[in-house]
Amino acid sequence: MNALQSIIMGALQGITEFLPISSSAHLIAIPWFFNIDDGNINKLTYDVMLHFGTLLAIFAIYGKKFVTVVVEGLADIRKGALQDTLLLKIIVATIPAGIAGLLGKDLIEHSLRTPFVAAFMLAFVSILMIIAERVNVKKIAISYPVAIAIGIAQAFALIPGTSRSGITITIALLLGLRRSEAVDFSFLLAIPIILGTSLYEMRQLDVHSGGMDIYIYGAISAFVFGILSLKFLIAYLKKHSLDLFAYYRIGIAVLILLFSKH
């Protein structure tokens, strides 16, 4: 992998981490298309650096709001006012994905990373997106059952082709959250997951990997493109539906199935 390829992969990570189009499907297809060989880098170290870049990106957009949620949540907990504490709802919603990641890692890596699974989940979540934009659901506030349901949806994002933001925003809309609340809760929920993933992967981090410039280029690219894609999505969903992303995902699913036969 050279510097330009590292920048391409970082950009891909930043874009697909936040747009509801599935990072797993693109992280498989794009390296093949650009003929990117990662044999000269430590893959785990590189993944940690990319995750660090996207973590900084989401903090750049949602950091102030997340800190406010934590501060107000801790104050509410000390007062014993737990019912409307958004912090606890985020914590509760994070648990399913955490458990699924720890217990299902081997199953996902060895059994679910197939073209058929990725194509199926791309199409299935796309259908849910289209439905979510067309059903008229009574608007509700974020309750603990709603938070848990969104958290369970986030756990399914571990399956290739799903998209974490895609499934969480879609389920939030189907459950009755307003669009702005669905988007905000989805990305506030992403912070502990991305942070937890980075910390978990750091256990085996090779800090003596040569050519650190390659890793730094990737992290910076993931950070810059992560900010751009997240800002774009927030602005786009204020005026538009998820349909564009749904149709794009269906197109990618078809391409995966066609190319996987060759």
- Across the range 106-133, mean pLDDT stands at 88
Q: Say yes or no to pLDDT of 24 above 90.
A: no
**Banded pLDDT at 181 (limits 50, 70, 90):** very high
pLDDT digits (tens, 9 = 90+) for 136-170: 888 898 999 999 999 999 999 989 889 999 999 99
Residue 191, token pair as written in the block: 């912070």
**Residues 191, 18: contact at Cβ < 8 Å?**
no
Domain hosting 231: range is 3-260
Give me the half-sphere count of Cα atoms (radius 13 Å) on the Cβ side of residue 110.
Answer: 4
Q: Say yes or no to pLDDT of 16 above 70.
A: yes
> pLDDT at position 104, please?
80
Please give the residue that has the higher pLDDT: either 244 or 118. Answer: 244
Q: How many domains does the chain have?
A: 1
Distances (CA, A) of 57 to 137, 187, 206, 209, 237: 32, 11, 23, 24, 19
pLDDT digits (tens, 9 = 90+) for 90-117: 999 999 998 998 888 778 777 887 888 8
Please give the residue that has the higher pLDDT: either 23 or 131. Answer: 131
> pLDDT at position 39, please?
65
Q: Say yes or no to pLDDT of 257 above 90.
A: no
- Lowest mean pLDDT, pick from 11-20, 57-66, 227-236: 11-20
> pLDDT at position 22, please?
84
Q: Which residue has the tokens 């996987």?
A: 260
Q: Say yes or no to pLDDT of 33 above 70.
A: no
**Banded pLDDT at 237 (limits 50, 70, 90):** very high
pLDDT digits (tens, 9 = 90+) for 38-86: 666 767 777 788 888 999 999 999 999 999 999 999 988 888 777 778 9
- Across the range 182-195, mean pLDDT stands at 93
Share of the chain above pLDDT 90, in %: 51
- Its pTM stands at 0.90
Residue 184 to residue 30: CA distance in whole angstroms: 29
Ramachandran region, residue 35 (left: φ > 0; alpha: ψ -120 to 50; beta: rest): left
Report helix angle 179-201 to 164-175, nearest 10.
Answer: 140
